[in-house]
Amino acid sequence: MDNNTVEWLTLEMIKRFGTNAAHIARELDDIADAVPDISRIAVEMIKRFGGGALHIAREMANITKGVPEMQSGEVWCDIANAIERRYPSKDRHANDNNQPPSNSRPRHH
């Protein structure tokens, strides 16, 4: 991925997720490395982000549309749809304020 694309993606994530952008990016990177299919990605995102999982997946779909080097926006839409099917609708927006839920694990390097 070229530097301009990385810079653009970075700014988009910061715009959408604020100070949580780095944490979210690291968690998504961990999930992508460890989980092979959309259904399991959805479950893992719910575990890590709780009610914010759907919001994050939808935002990633919007961010990655048209970025060929990344998972396409369509894949992120599929992930968001899988989250919607698994997560109780009454709790879906409980954490849509771009804050990681209290049960998410910060990652240290």
Q: Which of 6-10, 45-49, 94-98 has the highest mean pLDDT?
A: 45-49
- Look up the domain containing 28 and give its range: 3-91
Residue 103 within any structural domain of the chain: no
- pLDDT on residue 70: 66
Which sign, positive or negative, has the C-alpha torsion 82, 86, 90, 91? negative
Stated as kind and residue range, the H or E segment containing 24 is helix 21-34
Average pLDDT, the chain: 80
How many domains is the chain built from? 1
DSSP 71: -
Amino acid residing at 1: M
> What is the distance between the alpha carbons of residues 46 and 74, in angstroms, rounded to a whole number?
19
- 99/38: higher pLDDT: 38
Residue 104 within any structural domain of the chain: no
58-109, pLDDT tens digit by residue? 999 998 887 776 656 778 888 888 888 887 554 444 444 444 444 444 444 4
Structure tokens at 34: 């460890």
Residue 105 within any structural domain of the chain: no
Residue 107 within any structural domain of the chain: no
- pLDDT on residue 54: 95
- pLDDT on residue 49: 96
